[in-house]
Amino acid sequence: MSSIKTRAASAAWWSTVEISCRFGVKFIGSVVLARLLLPEDFGLIAMLSIFTSIGALFVDSGFGTALIQRQDTTKDDETTVFAYNICAGIVSGALLALAAPWIADFFAQPKLLQLTRAMALTLPLSALATVPDALLAIRLDFKSRARAEVIASLVSSAVAILLAFQGYGVWSLVWQPMIALLMRTVMLWHFSGWRPRGRYSRDSFRGLFGFGGYMLLSGLLGTFVTEMQSLLIGKLFDSRSLGFYSLAQNTQQAPASFMGSLLNRVGLPVFSAVAADSEKLKLALRSSLQMAMFLFVPCMVGIAVVARPLIAQLYGPRWEAAAPILSVLALSGALWPVHVLNLTALGALGRSNLFFLLAVIKSFIFIPLILISARDGPIAIAWAVFVSNVLGGVINTHYSKRYLGYGVVAQMIDQSATFAMSAAAACVGWAILHWTKPSILTLIVAISASAGAYLSLAILIQSEALRGLRSAARTVLRPSPKTG
Helix (H, G, I), strand (E, B) or coil at 351: coil
**CA trace torsion 212, 216, 218, 221 (10° rounding):** 180
Is residue 176 in a domain? yes
Q: Report the pLDDT value the prediction gives residue 326, as an integer from 0 to 100.
A: 95
How many angstroms separate the CA atoms of 46 and 173, rounded? 10
CB atoms within 10 A of CB 17: 16
Instruction: Write out the DSSP string of 279-306.
Output: HHHHHHHHHHHHHHHHHHHHHHHHHHHH
How many angstroms separate the CA atoms of 280 and 270, rounded? 11
CA-closest candidate to residue 178, choices 64, 60, 52? 52
DSSP annotation of 237 reads: S
Helix (H, G, I), strand (E, B) or coil at 438: coil
Q: Report the pLDDT value the prediction gives residue 149, as an integer from 0 to 100.
A: 81
Q: How many CA atoms lie within 13 A of 268 on its CB side?
A: 26
Pair 156, 184: CB distance under 8 Å: no
Q: Report the pLDDT value the prediction gives residue 482, as an integer from 0 to 100.
A: 47
CA-closest candidate to residue 173, choices 185, 163, 184, 183? 163
CA-closest candidate to residue 21, choices 33, 32, 9, 29? 29
Instruction: Report pLDDT digits (tens) over 242-296.
Output: 999 989 988 887 777 666 666 655 555 667 667 778 888 888 888 888 988 998 9
Type of residue found at 50? I
How many helices and strands in the chain, by DSSP H and E? Answer: 22, 0
Which residues, including other chains, have CB under 8 Å from residue 190's CB and lie 6 or more apart?
none
How many angstroms separate the CA atoms of 191 and 135, rounded? 10
Q: Report the pLDDT value the prediction gives residue 148, as an integer from 0 to 100.
A: 85
How many angstroms separate the CA atoms of 308 and 403, rounded? 43
Give the range of the structural domain holding residue 342, as residue numbers without chain letter: 2-477
Total of domains in the chain: 1
Is residue 483 in a domain? no
Is residue 484 in a domain? no
Pair 138, 71: CB distance under 8 Å: yes
Instruction: Write out the DSSP string of 7-39.
Output: HHHHHHHHHHHHHHHHHHHHHHHHHHHHHHS-H
Is residue 156 in a domain? yes
Those residues of the chain that have pLDDT short of 50 are 1-2, 480-484
Is residue 334 in a domain? yes
How many angstroms separate the CA atoms of 441 and 52, rounded? 39
Q: Report the pLDDT value the prediction gives residue 471, as an integer from 0 to 100.
A: 77
Instruction: Write out the DSSP string of 238-263.
Output: -HHHHHHHHHHHHHHHHHHHHHHHHH
Q: Report the pLDDT value the prediction gives residue 111, as an integer from 0 to 100.
A: 92
What pTM was estimated for this model as a whole?
0.77
Is residue 402 in a domain? yes
How many angstroms separate the CA atoms of 198 and 385, rounded? 45
Type of residue found at 404? L
CA-closest candidate to residue 146, choices 315, 329, 23, 328? 23
HEC string of 141-200? CHHHHHHHHHHHHHHHHHHHHHHHHCCCCCHHHHHHHHHHHHHHHHHHHHHHCCCCCCCC
